[in-house]
Structure 1
């Protein structure tokens, strides 16, 4: 990345302990994208890494958020209410006060992070959402649908979904997309292999060109 990109790591206190933000910010950002990780891993997921690269290169400030459970070294994510309770003050801290990030605000993340973004989009007045590997249901349990969470996503929303995702195929997710939402299929399952890098890069480059400014 260019030397003109400001890199910062910031800890934010939340009801569940400190969360950690990894921020990459151009000199004059077009807006802000805040992304959360999944329940089974951190910020090293290939789709999060590519989203950071592509969106920063397109002029957006990108904040990757580590939930308090991960910062504390725990292996298991907390329940959804605790994830939301930590996420909201972290995003609010980024968007208010001295040094605040600019709007429009795009919320998102992968898997569990995408669910958090949907559930909190309203209270945080998100202008758009970017959902990576949205987990529509647990593997093999389509009856335990999370379509009600996807319905909370703001307009516009983009979903990047693997063709063989056991948590919800593109066709399954497409059937529950809310108004103003679009889905882009890419090769791979719920966790993308390195071979999907090119397709994910193309998908996220396309999204970057459509985000509201």
Structure 2
């Protein structure tokens, strides 16, 4: 590990379980901060999340990543929306004393979608970052999961693979064009975890390599 990087495990109070586990990753000098929550079936310590944190810290971004209660308990089913939104509020509230800036709210797939729901319901954040936004279930292009995005006045940033089964056609481009402060960066050939056919299949390395692209979106 980079000697200038601090990795600190923490616990965060939660309204429905005793606590959720989180990890704070701090570079030597951070210019912005982000809270990252995982996708369905993941966790804060999933290799993809570990890699994403390394890549962001390497770009000078302070990171707090946390697990939803179901993931922490070892359950595979996604968190129900009310619990996921409560988790977002709890983690962002704790981030005030753990990160050096009002953070961006970012998430892999489901984690990003629930960040949007929490911000639309009043959760403060600098902006939103979606890493593989699940615009619709695979093979079911309607209805689109866009209801909360249109209610958000904060900056919204999307990183999306062109071969992501959770989006299709030009629907996401059209949505981003209609939002007040939004940008999208397309990863050519990337699937929902940004893996590219014929490329590196290690999720941690793939996520870490996205660090410069994510940092560019945040800037």
Q: 1:14-71: CA deviations, max 9, x gaps? A: 123121111111244222111010112224253x344312221121211111111111
Tell me if the contact between 2:43 and 2:66 (Cα under 8 Å) persists in the aligned partners.
no
Q: Following the alignment from structure 2 to structure 1, what is the Cα–Cα distance between the partners of residues 2 and 82?
A: 38
Matching residue of 2:77: 76
TM-score by length of 2: 0.83
List alignment gaps of at least 5 residues for structure 2: none
Asked whether 1:158 is paired with 2:157, we answer yes
Tell me if the contact between 1:25 and 1:61 (Cα under 8 Å) persists in the aligned partners.
yes
Asked whether 1:32 is paired with 2:30, we answer no
Matching residue of 1:138: 137
SS at match of 1:16: coil
User: Displacement, 1:204?
Assistant: 3.8
Matching residue of 1:172: 171
Q: 1:174-197: CA deviations, max 9, x gaps? A: 111222111111122223327267
After TM superposition, the structure 1 stretch with the greater mean CA deviation from structure 2, 87-96 or 199-208, is 199-208
List structure 1 runs of 4+ shifted beyond 4 angstroms: 196-203
SS at match of 1:90: helix
TM-score by length of 1: 0.85
List alignment gaps of at least 5 residues for structure 1: none
Query: Alpha carbon RMSD of aligned pairs, Å?
Result: 2.4
Distance verdict in 2 for CA 1:203–1:60, change over 3 Å? closer
Q: Following the alignment from structure 2 to structure 1, what is the Cα–Cα distance between the partners of residues 110 and 152?
A: 14
Q: Following the alignment from structure 1 to structure 2, what is the Cα–Cα distance between the partners of residues 161 and 45?
A: 19
